[in-house]
Each structure stands twice: as C-alpha cells, then as structure tokens.
C-alpha cells in the first residue's frame, strides 16, 4: 500500500505514476478530497472529546440540568461524527488499496509487455539440422509428460511429469534450492494455503475480489498460494527486525496455484501456462534504502541468471515497463528463455523490488537510530517447471533423445533421456 503522507505531499507524482501504469489518475483527487474531510472530522472529534472532558471537570457533585443537556448534546454529536469518520476512512482505504506502487524513475513507460525493454541477451540459440519438437511432443515421445491423462483427470492446463521427467523436475528444483542455501540463503518450505487477511497484506488483490482472484476455500478463510512469496513475506509481519539481521534472505520451494485464464487460445498446448506448478523462489528483506534494495534486486537477478547458465539455456533479460508491473512492484526484471518449439523467448523468471509497499500492510519494520521504519521487500523466481520444458526443447537431439545438463546429472543419475521403445 502506498504512503498516504507521500500522496498528500506529491499528488502530481502519484497522478503521473498512475497514468504511466495505464490507471485512472482521477482517483488521486478522490483520495485527497476524502482525506481533507477525514482530517476535519478527526479535528471535530478531538474538539468534542476535549469539550466532554472540560464539562466533566466542571461537575460539582450532581450535574445541573444544563450540564446534562450539554453532555447529552456532545455525546450525540460525537457519536454522529465518529460514524461519519468511520465511513470516510473505509471509503478512503478502499480506494488507496487499489493504487499500485510508484515505479522507479528509470522504469520504461509503456502500455504492456510488448513495450518491455531487452537489456541483455545471453547464450547461443541452438541450431538444429532437424525440425525441433516442442516440449509437449517431446514429452509424449519420451514418455515423460502426460498431458492427455491430466486433462481426463483434472481438465485443461494440467500435466503429469512421469518417469525420468519426474526425476528431472525434482533435480532442477533441488539443484537450485541447494545452490542458494550454499550461498547463504535460508531454506524454507512454507504453507501452501494462507488466510485471506494474510493474502490481502501481500498487496496483489483488494478485499472485494480476494477469494475470486485465487483458488481458494472461502468457507475456511484459506487461499492457495500463487507463489511462495505469499506465505514467506508474511513470515515477519507485525515484527520489528534487528537492523543487524538485514538482509534476511530466504530461498523457498512451494507448489503454486494459478487460475491462468490468459488470452483465449494461447498456450493451450503443452505446459507453459498451467494451473499448478512447482517453484523455487527468493525472498529478501533489506534496510529501507532504495540504493540497497535495488542493488539486492540485481544480486537476486544474477542468481536467477546463474541457474539459466548452469542449465545451459539461452535467455534474455528484460526490464519491465510501467504497464507490465504487478501492483506491489516499483521495478521488475524478467528472464525470458529460448523455446525452439515456439521459436520464441518465453518468460521463465522474474525479479522484483517492492520497496516498502508490502511492508506497510504487513507492519514489518526495522529500528534505525531509535525510530521504527518499514523494511524493503523483494522477490525473485529462481526456477520453475518451465526450466524443465526449456531443457527438453533446447537439449533435444536428432534421434529424439534429450541431453541432461552436466550440473543436474549427479541428481538424476542419468545423462540422457531416450525415446521409449515401441
């Protein structure tokens, strides 16, 4: 959630940020008007309470009829104005919670992901002397993916990893997980379901559509997480962390559940856009300094790039434009890996700095020079199932086999996946 004090002091900045994010800037005027009304009502409440206290001190024994009349009038007026104040505050908060984070100054202005900016291309796109298959066809031929059975069991946008495919998937996850632990991150396997109030504090959805935005069980007040961020970031809610502990760095493994409606007819084949997948993710808490948190964002990005390089996958690093930023993010980088079956780069990872946007609702603070300040919170995908799919497509051979990246072979106990025998 944005800082109301910042909005009061810099309304034009917020208006421009909303415009750049393809949002209606008129909400700023609504908030300013409500805030002016709220502060006046607060002043009225304080005045009436002061009058109430002054009148009480004037009582000498039994109050006079005039004093009783004054006390009754003050009480009635106070109740009326407090009701008005509550209504105004609720209306203001509903609007404020819809306002996304203010993008960093260097974030490109653009309407959507088509206007993101490629800042780096790494690795050589493989050249094949045969027609490369996409992961769906490869998976079927190798008997390691079963999308048809998943459709029968669960519906569209699901899949089975089986046999050596299941081993490869687990190897990718554990390799990435273990690598980050060896680099000082704390390993975490968090709950896959969280309370609705906890989800709201993460800043991705408003109260009005909370349970519709995610797979959920409203009767139990539980929401299935769409990434480990949603249960790891609240790990420190309502805490004042020690400044000497920062940065707090976590690497998490979790299942992820997403509705993934997507564009009609897009990504219906294969397993690029599914309702359930596994993910290894980084979450970091830093001191409330944009230089520190932005540097950490680049460090986390380098970790994600390192995994792609270890897996011998060509990729691009993309700086996301204003129109493509999720609500809590002040900046975001995407890593798009090459998929020969689609002849295109597709997103496999992202790295985001949310500043203090999430910490404000989560009430996660750090004491600096005797003052409690909101921490900065960052998240970054390290690897998902999509990396497995990219391995299949990029490392396929003319005979239909797939070579396993060397770093994974100690975890798979095989160096190649061969087509099933007919």
pLDDT tens-digit profile of 269-302?
778 889 999 999 999 999 999 999 999 999 999 9
Domain count, the chain: 2
pLDDT tens-digit profile of 81-99?
999 999 999 999 889 988 9
Q: Look-up: residue for tokens 């005045």?
A: 47
Domain that holds residue 324: 113-417
In the sheet where 371-374 sits, what is the strand order? Answer: 240-241, 365-368, 371-374
**Dihedral angle computed from the Cα positions of residues 60, 61, 65 and 68, in that order, rounded to the nearest 10 degrees:** 80
Separation of CA 131 from chain center: 37
137 and 165 in a single domain? The answer is: yes
Specify the pLDDT at position 268.
57
Q: Look at residue 409 and give its three-state secondary structure.
A: helix
194 and 300 in a single domain? The answer is: yes
Note whether residue 422 is domain-resident. no
Note whether residue 108 is domain-resident. no
Specify the pLDDT at position 263.
47
198 and 91 in a single domain? The answer is: no
278 and 204 in a single domain? The answer is: yes
Note whether residue 341 is domain-resident. yes
Contact status, residue 74 vs residue 51, Cβ threshold 8 Å: yes
Note whether residue 103 is domain-resident. no
User: Of 62, 96, 130, which residue is a domain's last?
Assistant: 96
Cis amide prior to 141 (ω within 30 degrees): no
pLDDT tens-digit profile of 22-71?
999 999 999 999 999 999 999 999 999 998 888 888 877 777 888 888 88
The CATH number of the domain holding residue 44 is 1.10.287.40
User: Of 32, 61, 96, which residue is a domain's last?
Assistant: 96
The CATH number of the domain holding residue 202 is 3.30.930.10
pLDDT of 79 > 60? The answer is yes
pLDDT tens-digit profile of 201-219?
998 877 667 888 898 999 9
pTM: 0.91
Contact status, residue 375 vs residue 288, Cβ threshold 8 Å: yes
Burial class (CB in 10 A: 0-12, 13-18, 19+), 344: exposed
Distance between CA atoms of residues 403 and 399, nearest Å? 11
Note whether residue 153 is domain-resident. yes
85 and 177 in a single domain? The answer is: no
Could you tell me which of 258, 263, 303 has the C-alpha nearest to residue 276? 258
User: Of 34, 64, 96, which residue is a domain's last?
Assistant: 96
Note whether residue 369 is domain-resident. yes
Note whether residue 105 is domain-resident. no
Contacts of 86 (CB under 8 A, 6+ apart): none
């Amino acid at each position: 959630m944005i800082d109301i004090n910042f909005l009061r002091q810099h309304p034009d900045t917020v208006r421009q940020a909303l415009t750049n994010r393809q949002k209606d800037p008129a909400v700023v005027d609504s908030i300013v008007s409500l805030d002016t009304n709220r502060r006046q009502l607060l002043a009225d409440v304080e005045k009436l309470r002061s009058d109430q206290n002054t009148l009480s001190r004037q009582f000498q024994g039994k109050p006079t009829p005039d004093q009783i009349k004054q006390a009754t009038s003050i009480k009635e007026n106070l109740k009326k104005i407090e009701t008005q104040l509550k209504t105004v505050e609720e209306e203001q908060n509903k609007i404020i919670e819809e306002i996304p984070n203010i993008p960093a100054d260097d974030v490109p202005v653009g309407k959507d992901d088509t206007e993101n900016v490629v800042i780096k291309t790494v690795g050589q796109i493989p050249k094949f002397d045969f027609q490369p298959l996409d992961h769906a066809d490869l998976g079927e031929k190798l008997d390691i993916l079963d999308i048809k059975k998943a459709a029968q069991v669960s519906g569209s946008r699901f899949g089975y990893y089986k046999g050596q495919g299941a081993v490869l998937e687990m190897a990718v996850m554990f390799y990435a997980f273990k690598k980050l632990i060896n680099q000082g991150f704390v390993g975490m396997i968090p709950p896959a379901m969280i309370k609705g109030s906890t989800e709201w504090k993460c800043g991705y959805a408003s109260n009005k559509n909370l349970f519709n935005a995610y797979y959920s069980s409203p009767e139990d007040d539980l929401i299935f997480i769409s990434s480990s961020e949603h249960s790891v970031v609240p790990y420190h809610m309502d805490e004042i962390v020690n400044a000497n502990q920062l940065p707090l760095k976590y690497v998490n493994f979790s299942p992820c559940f997403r509705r993934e409606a997507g564009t009609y007819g897009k990504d219906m084949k294969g397993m690029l856009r599914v309702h359930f997948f596994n993910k290894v993710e980084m979450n970091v808490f830093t001191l409330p300094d944009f230089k520190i948190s932005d540097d950490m964002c680049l460090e986390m990005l380098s970790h994600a790039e390192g995994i792609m390089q270890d897996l011998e996958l060509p990729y691009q690093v993309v700086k996301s434009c204003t129109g493509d930023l999720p609500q809590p993010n002040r900046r975001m980088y995407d890593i798009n890996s090459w998929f020969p079956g689609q002849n295109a780069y597709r997103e496999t990872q992202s790295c985001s700095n949310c500043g203090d946007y999430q910490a404000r609702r989560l009430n996660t603070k750090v004491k600096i020079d005797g003052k409690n300040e909101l921490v900065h919170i960052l998240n970054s995908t390290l690897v998902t199932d999509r990396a497995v799919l990219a391995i299949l497509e990029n490392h396929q051979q003319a005979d239909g086999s797939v070579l396993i990246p060397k770093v994974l072979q100690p975890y798979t106990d095989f160096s190649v996946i061969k087509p099933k025998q007919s």
